[in-house]
Amino acid sequence: MRLSAAQVKKRAAAVKLAVLDVDGVLTDGLVYHMVDSGGTLIEFKGINAQDSIGLSWLAESGLKTGVISGRNSAGMQKRLEMLRVSYIYQGRLDKRVVFDEICRSAEVKPSETLYIGDDLPDIPVLGVCGLAIAPANARPEVKAAAHWVTKARCGEGAVREVAEAVLKAQGRWQAILTKFSPSHQAEARRSVQ
């Protein structure tokens, strides 16, 4: 059920925990494989840099973050750790069970969460979280279950769009902007000298 922009903003203001799927949300859904000289299969995924920094800004701003992925990827594990994601679950398609576990561990109510998903295994979580979000190119069934469908496609800024909306709704966006302002940068250089 879609919400109005005002309703989305109100729910975004209450978010304490942001959880998302990986393939088809944080990535464009493409998975690349190669085999090394020893015959070991190596998997690659691309993550948009703007989505990455948006996810890290949520953590930097005091929100807890988590991912639930149906696939396992050592490279993705390292990248998510770099982005300070608090809860990383891979190889799990029982997303509702994992979501409930994350909520208990983070000590938040489902109504204080957002979830971004693009495919059928995400629908059970979209049905219980406070703010259910689908990227622009999510499955039609997922869009129908979402409160908000982003303008951006998966792996092309959807996570960044959500991060900015949450930070703005919570009055935290100005702190991000200030961090990159020329006066702040000059002050930081002076403090290092």
54-93 pLDDT, tens per residue? 999 999 999 999 999 998 888 899 999 999 999 999 999 9
Domains and CATH numbers, the chain: 5-169 (3.40.50.1000)
Cβ contact 152:174 at 8 Å: no
179 or 6: which leads in pLDDT: 6
What are the tokens at 149? Answer: 């469908």
Q: How confident is the model at residue 41 (pLDDT cuts 50, 70, 90)?
A: confident
